Structure 1
Amino acid sequence: MPLTGWGLLRAQGDDARSFLHGQLTQDIVGLPPGQARLAGYCSAKGRLLASFVVWAEAAPGALMLACSADLLPATLKRLSMFVLRARCKLGDASAELPLTGLAGDAAGAAGVDGIVPWGVGAACGGTLIRLPDAAGVPRALLVGGTPPAGEALAPQAWAWLEVAAGVPRIVAATAEQFVPQMVNLELVGGVNFQKGCYPGQEVVARSQYRGSLKRRMLLASAPTPLQPGQEVYAADDAQQPAGMVVNAAATADGGAI
């Protein structure tokens, strides 16, 4: 299924790794070949501006960052402000390398069975990243290339699998709403607490070590449609929001998870 809601950034140059290492919640300097990692990009207050899947491109010194398409222009502009003298060029690679979501038999046909979760391999004339399974269904992200022949996955089905996998994706409606731990980013490997400084690190570390976290991401269902960024309320308190939707998917009965 074409992932039109996703976009792709490319960072290249001798300082690309060190620059991104100083901006994101993940260890980018130590990112090995053949592996993708989750990462967050925070404001100075520790709130997530964007979330990424990051991996190294075949070309030396090039890194790819997949994120929500509605955040890409603002994220690219903000990151570019901090490049300064670093030998790092940032650009939008979305048109050059379209992203496709594969699941079930399609993921198997692409060769995902031979790749470990978050592993990166070559397949279908492009780059194949195995995503975490959802409800026992294998999933993969195909970057460029041509997807295997067969019926495309319905957008609602991909969205359901994305939510069921429990891996958060920050979109425009949820930007600057959560510190990484609120959406369980550290639980799915998206935060490295041993690396050096990055924007918002002090807040993220305090949330981790001082027990100041008051919100967590949970899987829930509702009888009506939901949208990211929508506030939800407890049945006995219609005045005070009980939480906010991070990601949502429609269900066959007209509800949502």
Structure 2
Amino acid sequence: MADNLSRTSPPVFALPDHAVVALEGPDAMAFAHAQFANDVASLAPGHWQWNAWLTPKGRVMAVFALVRRADDLLWLVLPDHPAEALADALRRFVFRRKLKIAVPEGIAVGGAFAAPERALGAAFDGESGALELDLGGDGGPRTWRIGPAAAEDPVAQAAWRIADLRHGLPRLSASQREQWTPQQLALDRLSAYSVKKGCYPGQEIVARTHFLGKAKRSLHCFVTAHRMDEGMPVREGERDIGEVACVAHDGEGSVLLAVMPLEHPGTGLTVEGHPLVRQPLLDGLRR
């Protein structure tokens, strides 16, 4: 695992904007299957999937990795969303289910730009006491390591966020939650929702959009030499045609994901008068 990597391997660094929420109890799987957008019932022990929690109107509140640690224990590995706030929101729907929702103490999420020792694809590894998930894609190997806190590394942290966006993993700030449907955030690229499972919050909107072919907007990736912010309009001439959903800063420039018309070529666009250059989304992060 990360503690056993050679001295030449990239070190594990802290990802302080990530957290873990645990669902534990006999009804953990049934609760998650009823609340979350992906097919939790099909998730085998020892594996993980991308998933999302939606509003009843089908807007994405959170995108996360759902890890099945045991028959009665699930972990949500949660970028960007405060863990206690999400845990409190989920507790409102427990009712009489035999389930405990908590934020584990002494657990932190770290990252490394290196392949995991034994985890591969959707199969995680936890034999060392820490949990490792394979976050590698076409942009190169990466590993989530969940366990003791690691050291801060602002340069590596910024590079990690850029890699997430380049692979089409939305990183939603508070202002961008409950704004977009799974289709608009291209969560199908991550296999993060299902149109075949039973009911869950927002399922009717998601299924109708899918089966009636009404998805008209999706994610496009751009770079620019200037610093941008979420919520800025993307313009074509004098017309607003999209919006910046998430952004990562690279020095003075930015890598951003914008929700745009599905078939737009991505040329001739600006934000705040600054030109955008479209970049292809990298594959390989689907689980």
Measure the CA separation in 2 of the matches of 1:65 and 1:181: 21
From 91, 95, 112, give the equivalent of 1:102: 112
Aligned residue for 2:219, secondary structure, equals coil
Q: Relative to 1, partners in 2 of residues 1:48 and 1:71: Cα closer, same or farther, differing over 3 Å?
A: farther
Measure the CA separation in 1 of the matches of 2:136 and 2:188: 15
More strand by share: 2
Partner of 1:243: 242
- Between Structure 1 and Structure 2, how many residues are aligned? 242
1:120 matched to 2:119? The reply is no
Measure the CA separation in 1 of the matches of 2:98 and 2:197: 21
Partner of 1:39: 51
From 125, 141, 145, give the equivalent of 1:138: 141
Measure the CA separation in 1 of the matches of 2:14 and 2:226: 26
Deviation at 1:33, TM superposition (A): 1.8
Measure the CA separation in 2 of the matches of 1:191 and 1:81: 22
Measure the CA separation in 2 of the matches of 1:146 and 1:119: 23
Using the TM superposition, name which of 62-71 and 2-11 deviates more: 62-71
The one-letter code of the counterpart of 1:96 is G
Partner of 1:230: 231
The one-letter code of the counterpart of 1:119 is A
Which runs of no fewer than 5 residues in structure 2 stay unpaired?
1-12, 256-287
The one-letter code of the counterpart of 2:200 is Y
Q: Relative to 1, partners in 2 of residues 1:156 and 1:246: Cα closer, same or farther, differing over 3 Å?
A: same
Partner of 1:73: 84
Partner of 1:3: 15
Which runs of no fewer than 5 residues in structure 1 stay unpaired?
none
Deviation at 1:249, TM superposition (A): 1.6
The one-letter code of the counterpart of 2:143 is A
Aligned residue for 1:206, secondary structure, equals helix
Quote the RMSD (CA, aligned, Å): 2.2
1:172 matched to 2:184? The reply is no
Aligned residue for 2:241, secondary structure, equals strand
Q: Tell me, yes or no, if the aligned pair for 1:24 and 1:42 is still in contact at 8 Å.
A: yes
Measure the CA separation in 2 of the matches of 1:122 and 1:224: 41
